[in-house]
Amino acid sequence: MITFYHAPWSRSSTILWLLEELGAPYRIEHVDIRAAGGVPEDYRSIQPNKKVPAIDHDGVVVTERAAICSYLCDAFPEAGLAPAIGSPMRAPYLTWLVYADSIFDPVLAAKAHGHEFMGGGYSYGSFSEMIANLERTLSSRPYIAGDRFTAADTQIGGGMNYAAKVLRILPDKPVFAEYLERLAARPAFKRSAEKDFELARQAGMVKPA
Ligand SMILES: N[C@@H](CCC(=O)N[C@@H](CS)C(=O)NCC(=O)O)C(=O)O
């Protein structure tokens, strides 16, 4: 059984989508990252920085989104969300899975907080370089790692969706819009969005109409 440590409408939402794509049974443990007093200290035994997501799979704890994706896709290979070891697609898949956390996320967060910086001094480079890489890649193939949907799409696509719809900092480009439409049409994406909305509602995050 998988216990999924999650906060609605947060970085862990891309793992919620992945779990829906996998089809494996899981239960959600809500971590209130927005609580006035902060996340309870005992959660640190699960996630050392008290952040979401984290998973516990039959007693094995995994943290960090790229590691969680990699672990779950290997644990549930029948879902076909990761190219097999030895497949040439494995290289772009792993590259984009790691790129999502090590470049895409920090660059986006810096942009959202209004930090301007020269790409050269930082391991993640500049916003314009990151956007150009996404545009080049998605102009050449329908999914971020190739012709097939993989877990890397839940991380890059989920992050792009947030950047476009919530942060409103993703540049308007037809190739981005087409990619996000392709992903939003997936039943698992819709289910995860509905579940997240309901969790957000229960957590009092939805303003009454
Ligand atoms: N490197 C972590 C980052 C996770 C992360 O930043 N989570 C945010 C959610 S948006 C969080 O839990 N923030 C709560 C806090 O910092 O107290 C990962 O990729 O899993």
Q: Is 6 touching ligand 1 by the criterion CB < 6 Å? A: no
Give 169-174's long-range contacts (Cβ < 8 A, gap of 24+): 169/108, 169/111, 169/112, 170/131, 171/131, 173/135
Residue-wise pLDDT tens digits, 178-203: 999 999 999 999 999 999 999 999 99
User: In angstroms, rounded to a whole number, what is the distance separating the alpha carbons of residues 54 and 6?
Assistant: 7
Q: 159 falls in which pLDDT band (50, 70, 90)?
A: very high
The predicted structure's pLDDT at residue 116: 80
Give residue limits of the domains in the chain. Answer: 2-80+189-202, 90-186
Atom 15 of ligand 1 has which residue's CA nearest to it?
A: 51
Q: Which backbone phi and psi does 26 adopt, to 5 degrees?
A: -150, 155
User: In angstroms, rounded to a whole number, what is the distance separating the alpha carbons of residues 43 and 78?
Assistant: 31
CATH code of domain 2-80+189-202:
3.40.30.10
The predicted structure's pLDDT at residue 117: 72
Taking alpha carbons only, the member of 158, 157, 160 closest to residue 145 is 157
Domain 90-186 belongs to what topology?
A: Glutathione S-transferase Yfyf (Class Pi); Chain A, domain 2 (1.20.1050)
What average pLDDT does range 76-97 have in this prediction? 97
Residue-wise pLDDT tens digits, 112-129: 999 887 767 889 999 999
Helix boundaries (H) for 103-150: 105-112, 127-140
What average pLDDT does range 57-62 have in this prediction? 98
Residue carrying the six token digits 């998605």:
138
Structure-token pair, residue 43:
């959660």
Residue 86 Cα to ligand 1 midpoint, Å, equals 32
Cis peptide before 53 (omega within 30 of 0): yes
From 4, 5, 43, 52, the mutation candidate for ligand 1 (largest count of ligand atoms within 8 A of CB) is: 52
Q: 35 falls in which pLDDT band (50, 70, 90)?
A: very high
Q: 105-112 and 127-140 helices cross at what angle (nearest 10)?
A: 130
pTM of the model: 0.96
Q: Is 65 touching ligand 1 by the criterion CB < 6 Å? A: yes
Q: Do domains 2-80+189-202 and 90-186 have the same CATH topology?
A: no
Residue 53 Cα to ligand 1 midpoint, Å, equals 7
Residue-wise pLDDT tens digits, 5-23: 999 999 999 999 999 999 9
